[in-house]
Amino acid sequence: MYRYSGKAAFFLVIGCLWSGPILLAQQSKAAATSRPVLTPEKAVSLAEQGRCRESISGLKRAMVPTVSAEIRKQAGVLGVRCSLAVDDRESTIDFLRLLNKQFARDPDVLFVVVHAYSDLSTRAAQDLGRTAPQSIAAHKLNAEALEMQGKWEPAQLEYEGILQKDPNARGIHFLLGRVLLSRPDAGPDAPARAKQEFLKELQIDPSNADAAYILGELARRDENWDEAISRFSQASKLNPNFGEAQLGLGSCLVAIKKYEDAIPPLRTAEQLMPANPEVHHTLATALARSGHKEEADKEFAIHRSLTSAQGSERPE
């Protein structure tokens, strides 16, 4: 029997090791090339038959400019439904991105997009509930859901439970304060209690512009102008695009007759919220009282136009 030399045996083994993967790759490639590529119409047909796993890749390929808009839209909508059916969330996001890009104003597409994002949100919430039911994130999500349903007391209890576990949990004091202000049955001391929660939030997170803004609103309601101006200024600096904070600051300055000082924040609020009638009226007042009559008249005219348009849109 012929015996391989040491070197020959070595190269024979190496050859076998290399040839195995090469043959497998060639076989896989041959199988792939033998499998016909789905046409857009065929992919749509398979999806309509409920054969989702077979159709998803073909539906993605159908979302190209060379395919007619009708088929692309159909492929995208079916792609969303099929990918959700098989819980392929990555593909769902791909289809939503393509639909948003290609059919951004189509009402049928927007309807599908709304429900898809809602479905994805629900699934993510279920994942959180299964994997970490006792985590702060899970309790916070549950509290926010209760709050949206108007179940104020259970929501409050959830937030208070989180703070018992971690008094320095970021954002929770703010959410608790918001619930206290929202509850219709919170009692006459609710604003004072809420204020303490917002102050605690700012101690934990000095960058929380929302907490500073609500503190400004509470101070403005009590006509505590110095504190209100300070809080609105703080919120505006923390978030320069916070239009309501700019409006609050300008309104307070108008209230204490600092009309010239009120104009810059109100101009900023106008840029950020051009469709808000209150912004234009407050700015018009500041301009008129500081001697800028022509500009004031323009702002009053915009205010009248916006209020008139909003009035005509209200149902009878």
Tell me whether domains 132-206 and 209-310 share a fold: yes
15 has pLDDT over 70? no
Topology annotation, domain 209-310: 1.25.40
Average pLDDT of 279-301? 96
Tell me the per-residue pLDDT of 192-213, one tens digit each, with 9 for 90 and over: 999 999 999 999 999 999 999 9
222 contacts: CB under 8 Å, gap ≥ 6: none
Where residue 109 falls among pLDDT bands split at 50, 70, 90? Answer: very high
Dihedral, 60, 65, 67, 73 alpha carbons, nearest 10: 60
Query: One-letter amino acid identity for 201?
Result: E
| Pick from 145, 116, 141: nearest CA to 129 | 141
Angle formed at CA 119 by CA 114 and CA 121, multiple of 5 degrees: 95
How confident is the prediction for the chain on average, in pLDDT? 89
**pLDDT over 70 percentage in the chain:** 87
- pTM equals 0.74
Domain 132-206: CATH architecture, name and number where available? Alpha Horseshoe (1.25)
Tell me the per-residue pLDDT of 209-257, one tens digit each, with 9 for 90 and over: 999 999 999 999 999 999 999 999 999 999 999 999 999 999 999 999 9
* Per-residue confidence (pLDDT) for residue 195, from 0 to 100: 97
* Per-residue confidence (pLDDT) for residue 27, from 0 to 100: 46
* Per-residue confidence (pLDDT) for residue 35, from 0 to 100: 54
Segments making up each domain of the chain, as ranges: 39-128, 132-206, 209-310
* Per-residue confidence (pLDDT) for residue 312, from 0 to 100: 54
